[in-house]
Amino acid sequence: NAGVTQTPKFQVLKTGQSMTLQCAQDMNHNSMYWYRQDPGMGLRLIYYSASEGTTDKGEVPNGYNVSRLNKREFSLRLESAAPSQTSVYFCASSPGTDNTEAFFGQGTRLTVV
């Protein structure tokens, strides 16, 4: 089973460039999440989607947009990348109602120069 798949695994951007991080899950989960993790720090929630068709801001949404394309896919877009967005980005999914056990992807290491 693939679980949660993120693409790409690594990316280098120049300041001001845009890009979309892709995430897909094959567990028929309702909820999906995007987190960022800076070196030596904990995870911070950027955006989440409780169910298909809904998205909500997390702790640090500024500079990001998301799209819940369908039940399987949840993408994160950086419209104008900044060096402060250099981080490891994790996508996760969970069944949602009555069960918040989350399953994480392998992460995308993003560097903005």
Residues of this chain that interact with another protein (CB under 8 A) are 4, 30-31, 33, 35, 41-45, 48-51, 56, 58-59, 90, 92, 94, 96-107
Within its chain, how far is the Cα of 54 from the centroid? 15
Longest dimension (CA), the chain: 42
The residue (of 19 and 50) whose beta carbon lies closer to another protein is 50
* Torsion on CA atoms 12, 68, 105, 21, rounded to nearest 10: -10
Minimum CB separation of residue 66 from another protein in Å reads 14
Minimum CB separation of residue 96 from another protein in Å reads 6
